[in-house]
Each structure stands twice: as structure tokens, then as C-alpha cells.
Structure 1
Amino acid sequence: MGEKIDRRIAKTKEAIFHAFESLIAEKNFEDITINEIADRANVNRGTVYFHYRDKYDLLNKCMEENLNNIISVITTINSDGETVDLIQDSFLPVIRYFQENQSFYASMLLNKGIPAFRVRMSEMVASHITIHINMDGDNQNYSKEFLTQFMTSAFVGVIEWWILNGMPQSPEYFAEQLWGLLKRNQVIN
């Protein structure tokens, strides 16, 4: 019986997320109301408040889930409980994830009411770059922090450009180009 309740809760939360994501695609975050989210999700207002404190809490949970999905595409946990990168010779899985979720990412990046999304995405990318950047060779005369921020801005900026311009290149071509640039700049080996 407990399993049915869990499934119902999961379905309700999923409906609320989808309603919220579709509203974000249509209007600025600040203009969205809990009533609109509830109506679109086909639940009552109290149900939304049962799961989320307010629309800001819902936004944070939505951003967290989607950014965690990116992490799950690029990492796994080994038998020792350590996080292991799956990205060894291609960004293609990540780029395909962005392609599959283009509507959400375009909405979040375009919506002027949500600057926190780009900031969080940048923080996530920076933490990954910091781990992988090679400070030897051409990079040895630079500050690691400076290089990390530079490459983070470039990475997030080019992803944003690709998504917001309707993905003018195939995911394969885009991933290959991005991989080459990061490799050339010693962010990946």
C-alpha cells in the first residue's frame, strides 16, 4: 500500500514540475502564480503548498533536479562509493541531454526572472573544470582560478548560445567542437 502512495506523490510532483516548466516557457517567473501552477497541474492550490513552500522553493527544486540530471549523465558511483566521471572522450551524452531538454533550458536561460539558474549552472561547471584542468604546459603561467572562470564562462556561454539559437549544429558536431576546444585549452586530457 505504501508503494501506491509514493507513486501518487511522485506523479503529483511530476505534474506540478511539468506545469511549472510549461509556464516558465510562456511567461516571466515573477508573473507566475501558485494558482496557475495548480490549475495547469490539475491539482488544488493546497497540494502545491503541501509539497513546496512557495514558487521560489519550487523553482529551486526544479533547478536542482535538472542540474542533478546533468551530473547523473556525466558521473557514476563506483563500488567504493566514489564518484567517477563518465566523460572520457566525448561530451555527446551531455549535449544530447541538453537537446532532449531544450525547452526547459531555453526557458530557464531566457527568463530574466531567473538569473540564479545560470549562476548555479556555472558553479556546477566550474567545480568540474577545477578538477580536470591541467595546469602544466600552456596553462602553467596562469592562475587556476582565473582559467577555471574563463573556461566556465566559455563553456556555459557556448551551451547557452547553442540552445537559444535553436541548436544550429547537430549534437555530434557540437560535442566534437566543444571537446576539441576544451582539450586544446588543457581542460580535459
Structure 2
Amino acid sequence: MDRRIQKSKQAIMDAFLALMSETDIENITVNKIAELANVNRGTVYLHFLDKYDLLDHCLEEQINRLIDKCAPDSEVTGKFTSKSTLLRVFEYLEQNSGLYSKMLRNRGVPAFRNRLLVVVRESLSRQFDLIASGPNFNKEITVQFLASAVISSFEWWISNSMPYPASVMAEQIWALLDRTMISLPLPNQNSRSVI
């Protein structure tokens, strides 16, 4: 992609995120986005169908950045996480708390929380495919419960101005996940923990 095109597209996305920090998405217009990005209205429509398409692109970009920055350790690829991976997630959220706070608090952006939930749910589901089985284990319920708990913890932490350091949050969440996984019926009873 031409650098000028990429630059104007990024300016539009940055302007949109800046406006989201000031107001709800319902109050953001394409004119306001174009004005702040220092482009004309037609340039916005050249890149995006409307502000909701722009929102989708911004959400996807932010989720991809989070995933890229917090990818699992190479030695545990394929597993849900490790303490160090979870710590990287909290550190990344901490470093970008302004943006993530906007995304989680803005009434027009439940899609961001839902997309995060899908990412965590998929990771947990893959992990449970590796470690859990048995007639008393309902993977769907367990995955939904744990994913919702993790996302709610992220949301609570960011919304409350991060009352604990990233390291404390990662340690606590990991301990809760580990306790849950220890109690699951495992195909190999010799490995009771994911740590």
C-alpha cells in the first residue's frame, strides 16, 4: 500500500480513537473525523464504509496488537497461557490503559469487549482440548465461565485505574485459572497443573 494512503488511513483511525475518548460513538460524525484527521470527507469514505466500519477496523487492529504483543512463550506454544504470558497481557494493557479504557467504557463499543471475549474463549478452548476430558466435564460451560471472568477482571482493573500492579493481577488470575484446571478431569492423571 502506498505510504500516503497508509498515512491518511492511520490519521483517520487515530482521529476516530481520539474522538472516542471525548464522546460516545453515536455523537461522532464523519465530518468530525475528517476534520481532526486533516483529510476531506471523501478520503474517509475511500477507506471506510462509515464510522461503524471504521470502528470495526480500529477494534481489529487493537485486538491484533494485543495478541501480537502478548503471544504465548515459544516453549508453551499451543497452551492457553503461562504466568509470563498473562503478565505481558496486563503490562500491555497497563501501558495502553488510556486507549483500552476508552474502548471498554465507551457505550458504543460493546464489540471490543465481545471481541476480547472471543479471543480468550478460543485460547481456553484450545487448552481444554489438550488437558481436560471426562463425563462430568462440560467444556463449553467451563470455557464461557472462565473467559467471562478473565475479561471482567481486565475490565474491572482498567476501569478502576489499575489499583494493583500488573504483576499482582497476573499472579492472582493465574492462580485462579490454575486452581480451576487442577480440579478438571484430565486424560493423564500424572499432570494435574498447567504450570
TM-score band, normalised by the shorter chain? Answer: 0.7 to 0.9
Instruction: Return the TM-score normalized by structure 2.
Output: 0.83
The one of 82, 86, 94 aligned to 1:88: 82
Q: Is 1:27 aligned to 2:23, yes or no?
A: yes
The one of 177, 183, 188 aligned to 1:182: 177
Tell me if structure 2 keeps the 8 A contact 1:25–1:107: yes
Deviations for 1:127-183, whole angstroms, at most 9, x for unmatched residues?
A: 0111113425xx872310000000011000000000111111111111111111111
CA–CA distance in structure 1, aligned partners of residues 135 and 179 of structure 2: 14
Shift of the 121–171 alpha-carbon distance from structure 1 to 2, 3 Å rule, reads: same
AA aligned to 2:10 is E
The CA RMSD measured in Å over matched residues stands at 2.2
AA aligned to 2:132 is M
CA–CA distance in structure 1, aligned partners of residues 53 and 66 of structure 2: 20
AA aligned to 2:52 is Y
Deviations for 1:1-43, whole angstroms, at most 9, x for unmatched residues?
A: xxxx722222212211111111111111111000111111111
Tell me if structure 2 keeps the 8 A contact 1:92–1:175: yes
Provide the aligned length of Structure 1 versus Structure 2: 178
Q: Identity across aligned pairs (percent)?
A: 43
AA aligned to 2:144 is Q
Q: How far 1:86 sits from its partner (Å)?
A: 9.1
CA–CA distance in structure 1, aligned partners of residues 90 and 50 of structure 2: 32
Tell me if structure 2 keeps the 8 A contact 1:19–1:37: yes
Structure 2: which 5+ residue stretches go unaligned?
183-192
Q: How far 1:116 sits from its partner (Å)?
A: 1.7
Structure 1: which 5+ residue stretches go unaligned?
none
The one of 63, 66, 87 aligned to 2:62: 66
